[in-house]
């Protein structure tokens, strides 16, 4: 039986946890995002989660959430939505990251 080195197992585990958070964020972009709740989803302490997230993603949690909301708004506008730009902006950015 072969086993993986612990560094590879940790990297795979971190990837799984961060992906779980990314999925949650994408599913809840229209709601306020709470850092403590996201840390719980990743099963990290809040402080450790913020450091890991920024290192893993190359941007802070707040920047990531803002970028994803902007991408979603741009997609809605590009798909011929009958919303005005202002309506799309209100729908996309009425909530934030807490």
Give the model's pLDDT for residue 74: 87
Q: Which domain holds residue 64?
A: 6-93
Does any domain span residue 42? yes
Q: pLDDT, tens digit, for every residue of 68-90? A: 999 988 888 888 768 788 887 77
Please report whether residue 72 resides in a domain: yes
Query: Rounded distance, CA 37 to CA 14, Å?
Result: 17
User: What pLDDT, on the 0 to 100 scale, is given for residue 54?
Assistant: 96
User: b or e along 66-80 (b: 16 or more beta carbons within 10 Å of the residue's beta carbon)?
Assistant: beebeebbeeebeee
pLDDT recorded at residue 30: 85
Q: pLDDT for 5-31, tens place per residue?
A: 555 658 899 999 999 999 999 999 888
Enter the pTM of the model: 0.78
Q: How many domains does the chain have?
A: 1
């Amino acid at each position: 039986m072969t086993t993986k080195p612990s560094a590879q197992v940790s990297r795979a585990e971190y990837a799984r946890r961060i992906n779980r958070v990314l999925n949650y964020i994408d599913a809840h972009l229209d709601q306020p995002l709470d850092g403590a709740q996201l840390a719980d989803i990743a099963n990290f302490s809040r402080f450790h989660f913020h450091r890991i997230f920024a290192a893993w993603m190359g941007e802070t949690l707040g920047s990531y959430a803002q970028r994803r909301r902007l991408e979603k708004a741009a997609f809605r506008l590009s798909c011929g939505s009958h919303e005005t730009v202002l309506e799309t902006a209100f729908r996309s950015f009425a909530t934030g990251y807490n």
